[in-house]
Chains A and B, each alone.
Chain A
Amino acid sequence: MIALSDFINLYLLPGLVVGCIYALGAIGISLLFGILRFAHFAHGDMMTLGAYLAIIFTANFDWSPYAALPITVIGTALVALLLDRAFYKPFRRSAGIVTVIASFGVMLMLRSAIQLIWGVDVKTYDIGIRFPMEFGMLKIAPRQVTIVLVTAALVIALHLFLSRTRLGKAMRAVSDDPDLARVSGINVEQVVRWTWIIGAGLAAAGGVFIGIQTKVHPNMGWDLLLPLFAAAVLGGIGRPYGAVAGGLAIGLCQELATYPWFSEEPFIAPGYKPAVAFSVMVIMLIWRPTGLFRGRAF
Chain B
Amino acid sequence: MDIFSPGFLNYLISLGTMSGIYAVLCLGLNLQWGFAGLFNAGIAAFFAIGAYTTAILTTPESPNYLGGFGLPIVLAWPIAMLLSGVIAWAIGRICLRLRGDYLAMATIGIAEVIRLLIKNEAWLTAGTRGIPNIARPFEGLPSTWNHLAFMGLVMALVAIIYWAAERAWASPWGRTMRAIRDSDMAAAAIGKDVTQFRVEAFVLGAMVMALGGALSAHYFKFLGLSATEPMMVTFLVWVMLIVGGSGNNRGAILGALIIWIIWSATELLTNRLPGEWITRTSYIRVLLIGILLQVVLQRFAKGLVPERPPRMIDDKPESR
Contact = CB atoms under 8 A, between A and B. Distances in A.
Interface stretch (A53-61, A110-118, A194-202): A110-118
A93 B144 CA distance: 53
Given A230-B109, A269-B120, A39 B101 contact: yes
16 contacts: A91-B297, A97-B37, A100-B39, A101-B39, A101-B293, A104-B235, A105-B239, A109-B286, A116-B284, A269-B120, A271-B116, A275-B113, A281-B106, A285-B98, A289-B98, A298-B99
A91 B101 CA distance: 15
A274 B119 CA distance: 13
Interface of B: 37, 39, 41, 94-95, 98-102, 104-106, 108-110, 112-113, 116, 119-120, 230-231, 235, 238-239, 242, 279-280, 283-284, 286-287, 289-291, 293-294, 297-298, 301
A49 to B, nearest CB: 14
A97 B109 contact: no
Interface of A: 33, 38-39, 41, 86-87, 90-91, 96-98, 100-102, 104-106, 108-109, 111-113, 115-116, 120, 222, 225-226, 229-230, 233, 269, 271-272, 274-275, 277-278, 281-282, 285-286, 289, 297-298
B39 A225 contact: no
Contacts of A233: 102, 105
Nearest to A272: B116
A91 B301 CA distance: 11
B51 to A, nearest CB: 20
Contacts of B235: 104, 108
B101 A96 contact: yes
Contacts of A225: 108
A222 B120 contact: no
B105 A281 contact: yes
A274 B106 contact: no
B293 A229 contact: no
A116 B287 contact: yes
A3 B293 CA distance: 54
Contact of A97 (B39, B112, B287, B291): B39
A67 to B, nearest CB: 30
Contact of B238 (A96, A101, A226, A297): A101
Nearest to B299: A90
A20 B297 CA distance: 35
A286 B109 contact: no
B119 A271 contact: yes
Contacts of A298: 98-99, 101-102
Contacts of B105: 39, 229, 233, 281
B113 A278 contact: yes
B95 A285 contact: yes
Contacts of A282: 94, 106, 109
B78 to A, nearest CB: 27
B106 A297 contact: no
B120 A41 contact: no
